[in-house]
Amino acid sequence: MNRHLISAGDLSREDAVLILDTAAELASVADRPIKKLPTLRGRTVVNLFYEDSTRTRTSFEAAAKRLSADVINFSAKGSSVAKGESLKDTALTLEAMGSDAIVIRHPASGAPRRLTDWTSGRVINAGDGTHEHPTQALLDAFTIRQRLVGPDQRGKALDGIRVTIVGDVLHSRVARSNVLLLDTLGAEVTVVAPPTLMPWAIESWPCKASYDFDAELRKTDVVMMLRVQQERMSAAFFPTVREYRRRYGLDTGRMALLPEHAIVMHPGPMNRGVEIAAEVADSPRSTIVAQVANGVTVRMAVLYLMLGGAADGAA
Amino acid sequence: MCAMRPEPDHEPGASSPGQLDRPDYPSPHEQGWKAVLTPEEIRRALSRIAHEILERTHGGEGIVLLGIPTRGVYLARRLAARIGEFEGAPAPVGSLDVTMHRDDLRLRPARPLQRTEVPPDGVDGKTVVLVDDVLFSGRTVRAALDALNDLGRPRSVQLAVLVDRGHRELPIRADYVGKNLPTAHREAVRVLLAESDGEDSVLLGERDQ
């Protein structure tokens, strides 16, 4: 695997399958009386969060702790960042404290990549601006494989599985990472968004694009709903929430059009009643809770593969 | 990462996870390798071990066989089947991956994990027989004892190996041994099993540098 995990596009198919296989083995740790492995004893993982997050930060924290790493949580609020410290100086401070890996979330796209210049440890991107969120894509791929590939999934990718990603693709780092990773794993991805929320260079993405949600519903195995990110929207991208919901929201009527086996995903946090109806989110087809649980095991796999071996990493 | 390097067999602190899928696993009849156990001898050794396990555990009461991947798992399954033939009911069998508990993880790139499967009744209060192909430094077994500790609290733990080649680095011994094989430290032992290698054989040769 690469030294850092910045983009889902950096992962080869072999790397990605290895991470999923490793996660599948680690999943059983959650069922054991002692939910802990000694593997990363003596390693220090810093969670460096410049943006609010419950799910991702606690998930990384749980993953690192289950592998016996020491975890330092660093959030921008209440730190020297509030006094104007730069990312570089923060990085040098953490470096001096002897961190082996930095898990970073930052509102600026590209901040994790920049951070790799200033630290000798590993850098894991936990979401940067509207750029990428590779571990979310990995846990989504893991969830899809778990639900649709069957019991003997070891070594398998997602060849031929049809995934439709719906909603605010323009602002979504989850969508970008998922498109890149799912394509690497052989899935057929279609993104659906209103014209105003479709990225400009969508033709250059390894996926199909559509404005018509209903047309895609019948021919998909996975529907991945994206959150409408009001905090990143600096302009009016759709007239009203009601109109967005009518054309791009997943309600029970639309869910009924899906093939029998199809699953419904959402990276969270959800806006119930906007992009996804409450009845859909709580239905047996929804994998939303499983995605959270899988987040911990997938992040354990990433931390193990990046930090568990020799310090110089690459063979 | 991901150029998973082929592992030299049974060096101190190394066992043999992941060889199953490795296309470059050397052909058994390469030059310089000498067969020290024939398929027939392996079969007889396993039958004897199965009998010894039954004898020592009073008919196999409360035993669980846990194989250490990769080849230990196949051996454990064979022993369980053998015990079934002798006693009528096969012994519960599973696998125990020790990768996360190894003491040499930091010496190489991270390795892929193997499967841990514990029979439904668990290991609490049971007599666990760990099964591996080759006993060398004892470090794999130490890792297995740690891994087992996280799964529960067996009443006792025993160790069965097909080959004991000596050169222990830890105070560990086997309860059941297929063959004691005196070796030089620079030599390597390879166990081939039909399940993973298409044939049964134990080979002795020079460790490739």
- B189: confidence class by pLDDT, cuts 50, 70, 90: very high
Greatest alpha-carbon pair distance for chain B in Å reads 48
Residues in chain A within 8 Å Cβ distance of B114: 25
* B30 has pLDDT over 80: no
Amino acid type, A60: F
> Strands (DSSP E) along B48-100, which ranges?
63-67, 93-95
Cβ within 8 Å, pair B150-A14 = no
Q: Is A56 one of the catalytic residues?
A: yes
Of B131, B134, B130, nearest in space to B204 by CA = B134
Could you tell me if A52 and A77 lie in one domain? yes
Q: What is the pLDDT of residue B182?
A: 94
Residues A181-214: pLDDT tens digits? Answer: 999 999 999 999 999 999 999 999 999 999 999 9
- Residue B23 in contact with partner chain A when CB distance is under 8 A: no
Could you tell me if A140 and A268 lie in one domain? yes
Which strand (E) or helix (H) includes residue A225? strand A222-225
A 10 A CB-CB count for B144 gives 26
Q: Judge whether B144 and B161 are in contact, CB under 8 Å.
A: no
A21 Cβ partners below 8 Å, 6+ apart?
A154, A155, B112, B113
Could you tell me if A154 and A214 lie in one domain? yes
- Residue A39 in contact with partner chain B when CB distance is under 8 A: yes
Distance from CA of A309 to the nearest CA of B (A): 4
Is A315 part of a structural domain of the chain?
Answer: no
Could you tell me if A155 and A29 lie in one domain? no
Residues in chain A within 8 Å Cβ distance of B123: none
The pair of structure tokens assigned to A310 is 């020799």
Q: Is ipTM beyond 0.95?
A: no
Strand-strand pairing, A188-192 and A208-210: parallel
Q: Judge whether A126 and A52 are in contact, CB under 8 Å.
A: no
Mean pLDDT on B139-148: 96
Residues B10-29: pLDDT tens digits? Answer: 544 444 443 344 444 555 56
**Test mutation, B113, B117, B123, chain A, max A CBs within 10 A:** B113
Low-confidence winner among A20-24, A89-93, A234-238, B20-24 (lowest mean pLDDT): B20-24
Cβ within 8 Å, pair B109-A310 = yes
Residues A35-54: pLDDT tens digits? Answer: 899 999 999 999 999 998 88
**Which listed CATH number (3.40.50.2020, 3.40.50.300, 3.40.630.190, 3.30.980.10) goes with B39-185?**
3.40.50.2020
Could you tell me if A152 and A270 lie in one domain? yes
Distance from CA of A11 to the nearest CA of B (A): 11
Which of B2, B111, B114 is closest, CB to CB, to A14?
B2
Residues A218-237: pLDDT tens digits? Answer: 999 999 999 988 776 666 78
Q: Is A83 one of the catalytic residues?
A: yes
Measure CA A113 to chain center: 17
Q: What is the mean pLDDT of chain B?
A: 87
Q: In whole angstroms, what is the distance from residue B4 CA to residue A315 CA?
A: 7
Q: What is the pLDDT of residue A81?
A: 75
Q: What is the pLDDT of residue A241?
A: 86
Q: By CB neighbour count within 10 A (0-12 exposed, 13-18 middle, 19+ buried), where does A38 fall?
A: middle
Q: What is the pLDDT of residue B21?
A: 41
* B147 has pLDDT over 80: yes
- B133: confidence class by pLDDT, cuts 50, 70, 90: very high
Query: Which has more confidence, B55 or A237?
Result: B55
Could you tell me if A147 and A231 lie in one domain? yes
Is A55 part of a structural domain of the chain?
Answer: yes
Residues A271-311: pLDDT tens digits? Answer: 999 999 999 999 999 999 999 999 999 999 999 999 998 76
Query: Which has more confidence, A94 or B42?
Result: B42
Could you tell me if A265 and A148 lie in one domain? yes
Is A3 part of a structural domain of the chain?
Answer: no
Percent over 90 (pLDDT), chain A:
79
Which of B101, B107, B113 is closest, CB to CB, to A310?
B107
**Structural domains in chain A (count):** 2
Q: What is the pLDDT of residue B16?
A: 42
Strand-strand pairing, B201-206 and B187-192: antiparallel
Q: Judge whether A36 and A153 are in contact, CB under 8 Å.
A: no
The pair of structure tokens assigned to B69 is 């991947």
- Residue B152 in contact with partner chain A when CB distance is under 8 A: yes
A103 Cβ partners below 8 Å, 6+ apart?
A45, A46, A47, A48, A60, A124, A126
Could you tell me if A42 and A75 lie in one domain? yes
Distance from CA of A1 to the nearest CA of B (A): 4
Q: What is the CA radius of gyration of chain B?
A: 16
Q: What are the DSSP calls for B127-194, one per residue?
A: EEEEEEEEESSSHHHHHHHHHHHHH---SEEEEEEEEE----SSS---SEEEEE----TTEEEEEE-H
DSSP category for residue B99: G
Could you tell me if A150 and A126 lie in one domain? no
Q: In what order do the strands lie in the sheet with B156-164?
A: B93-95, B63-67, B127-135, B156-164, B176-180
Residues B68-104: pLDDT tens digits? Answer: 999 999 999 999 999 999 998 889 999 999 999 999 9
Torsion of CA B6, B10, B11, B14, to 10 degrees: 70
Mean pLDDT on A70-79: 85
* A15 has pLDDT over 80: yes
Sign, CA torsion A142/A145/A147/A151: negative
Residues B170-179: pLDDT tens digits? Answer: 999 999 999 9
* A129 has pLDDT over 60: yes
Residue A22's domain spans which residues?
8-132+293-307
Q: Judge whether B75 and B46 are in contact, CB under 8 Å.
A: yes
pTM listed for this prediction? 0.89
Could you tell me if A118 and A196 lie in one domain? no
The pair of structure tokens assigned to A144 is 């899809």
A147: CATH: 3.40.50.1370
Cβ within 8 Å, pair B150-A37 = yes
**Test mutation, A304, A306, A312, chain B, max B CBs within 10 A:** A304
Low-confidence winner among B4-8, B136-140, B149-153 (lowest mean pLDDT): B4-8
- Residue A18 in contact with partner chain B when CB distance is under 8 A: yes
Q: What is the pLDDT of residue B26?
A: 54
Q: In whole angstroms, what is the distance from residue B164 CA to residue B45 CA?
A: 13
Q: What is the pLDDT of residue B27?
A: 59
Q: What is the pLDDT of residue A234?
A: 63
Residues A144-187: pLDDT tens digits? Answer: 999 999 778 899 999 999 999 999 999 999 999 999 999 999 99
Measure CA B189 to chain center: 13
Q: In whole angstroms, what is the distance from residue A304 CA to residue A309 CA?
A: 8
Q: What is the pLDDT of residue A240?
A: 85
Cβ within 8 Å, pair B100-A37 = yes
Percent over 90 (pLDDT), chain B:
75
Q: What is the pLDDT of residue B88?
A: 87
Mean pLDDT on B30-51: 92
Q: In whole angstroms, what is the distance from residue B82 CA to residue B86 CA?
A: 6
* B2 has pLDDT over 50: no
Could you tell me if A161 and A17 lie in one domain? no
